């Protein structure tokens, strides 16, 4: 779990404004990036090839399906 950092009130406000701005940029750009090992990438490419679909589309569909299930499980689904 993350360690709680003690900040002054002004520093905390600046931090929260910066985090809100960064979050908005992520929302607007709609780009998610992450690293994967070679074995995982090979498996992703092989499954995508079997399903005859681009690997990015396949990965995105998995993320979206999992995200919807998680959001429903914790009661924040739209």
The rounded mean pLDDT for the chain is 91
The whole-angstrom separation of Cα 29 and Cα 42 is 27
Residue 2: per-residue pLDDT: 66
Of the candidates 50, 33, 30, 32, the residue with the CA atom closest to the CA atom of residue 42: 50
Q: What sign does the CA torsion over 25, 27, 29, 35 have?
A: positive
For residue 65, pLDDT beyond 90: yes
Count CB atoms within 10 A of the CB of residue 73: 9
pLDDT > 90? residue 76: yes
> Is residue 3 pLDDT above 90, yes or no?
no
Angle at 37 (CA atoms; ends 31, 43), nearest 5 degrees: 90
The model's pTM is: 0.70
**Backbone torsions φ then ψ of 31, nearest 5 degrees:** -115, 130
Q: Is the pLDDT of residue 61 over 90?
A: yes
């Amino acid at each position: 779990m993350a360690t709680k950092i003690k900040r002054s009130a002004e520093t905390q406000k600046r931090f929260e404004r910066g985090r809100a701005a960064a979050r908005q940029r992520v929302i607007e750009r709609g780009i998610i990036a992450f690293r994967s090992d070679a074995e995982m990438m090979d498996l992703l490419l092989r499954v995508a090839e079997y399903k005859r679909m681009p690997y990015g589309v396949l990965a995105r569909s998995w993320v979206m399906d999992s995200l919807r299930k998680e959001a429903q499980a914790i009661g924040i689904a739209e």
